[in-house]
Amino acid sequence: MIYLVGDVQGCDGALARLLDLCAFSPSRDRMVVLGDLVNRGPHSLAVLRRLRALGDAAVCLLGNHDLHLLAVAAGVRPLHRSDTLAEILAAPDREAWIDWVRARPLAWRESGWLCVHAGLAPQWNGATTLALAAEVQALLAGPALGRFLPRMYGNEPRRWRDGLEGDDRTRFVINTLTRMRFCEADGTLDFKTKDGAADPPPGLMPWFEVPGRASAGEPIAFGHWSTLGLVKRPDLLGLDTGCVWGGALSAARIDGGRRELIQVPCAEAQQPGA
């Protein structure tokens, strides 16, 4: 059986209950976790241990909180008061955990579903997304990570063009795959609005509602957007259902031409706005 799993964010108890509910067996089953493995929840290191122990049965994508861990570990960013990364950073084998995290992919295709943490630029189809994600994954896993991390943060450029190069290209790909929610019709990214999709500011729309996007019709699964809530469409799955905020941890079974939603309720680990 194949499962796609929404943002865990350090909620190891919920992850354990979800795996039990699915009767998940690494010898038989496979899961893709859609990024934000760590942070804000109480047991980030335990989540990493549980997921790594599953070996090839668990594909774990990078989300913005996972990249934040890399930046904090490198001394590029300070810990935020609501971060729950201290146990990882204090672990005697912390470097092994950091190396494991930075080797995770940014996008993945599983059983016909393109899996990302946040979204796609409207100019990208699935093949383009996977190729650009592989570019950035190679950088994050390689010797240039220390040089790039101080340059990773920033909102520019906000629109894709094929001629983007260097840090601008890498930053745009990261921002799209791990941070985006809304954009303009031409694909210009917006990073201010974090509400749900019911009443977006003028000129903005959810990335998956952009007319004529190149990925239209390709099945896509994503997380990141807890205020959006569960999205279940024939070609779109939004699975961040606010586990860390007291919502649920959600998984979608996608194998065998069927889809089944599995959820476990979660105790609130953070208050919105923290």
pLDDT at 196 over 50: yes
Topology at the third CATH level for domain 2-265 = Purple Acid Phosphatase; chain A, domain 2 (3.60.21)
pLDDT at 157: 98
How many alpha carbons lie under 13 Å from residue 152 in its C-beta half-sphere?
25
For residue 169, give the 3-state DSSP assignment: helix
Query: What pLDDT sits at residue 199?
Result: 85
pLDDT at 272: 60
Distance set, CA 67 to CA 7, 112, 115 (Å): 14, 26, 17
> Does the pLDDT at position 121 exceed 70?
yes
69 in Cβ contact with 83 (< 8 Å): no
Residue carrying the six token digits 């239209």: 216
**pLDDT computed for residue 256 by the predictor:** 76
Dihedral of CA atoms 237, 264, 55, 130 in degrees, nearest 10, equals 10
What pLDDT is stored for residue 258 in this prediction? 75
Can you give the pLDDT at residue 223?
98
Backbone angles phi, psi at 125, to 5 degrees: -95, -175
> What is the residue-averaged pLDDT of the chain?
96
Strand partners, 181: none
**Angle formed by the axes of helices 166-178 and 145-152, to 10°?**
70
Cβ neighbors of 183 (< 8 A, separation 6 or more) are 121, 122, 189, 190, 204, 205, 207, 210
- pTM score, whole prediction: 0.96
| pLDDT surpasses 70 at 271 | no
Nearest to 114 by CA among 99, 123, 125, 103: 125
What does the pLDDT look like over 132-185, one tens digit per residue?
999 999 999 999 999 999 999 999 999 999 999 999 999 999 999 999 999 999
Q: Report DSSP state, residue 182.
A: E
Q: Is the peptide bond before 157 cis (omega within 30 degrees of 0)?
A: yes
Q: Is it the case that residue 237 has pLDDT exceeding 90?
A: yes
Question: Picking from 69-78, 124-133, 188-197, 212-221, which range would have the lowest pLDDT averaged per residue?
Answer: 188-197
Provide mean pLDDT across the span 227-244. Answer: 96
Segments making up each domain of the chain, as ranges = 2-265
Q: Rg of the chain's alpha carbons, rounded to an integer? A: 17
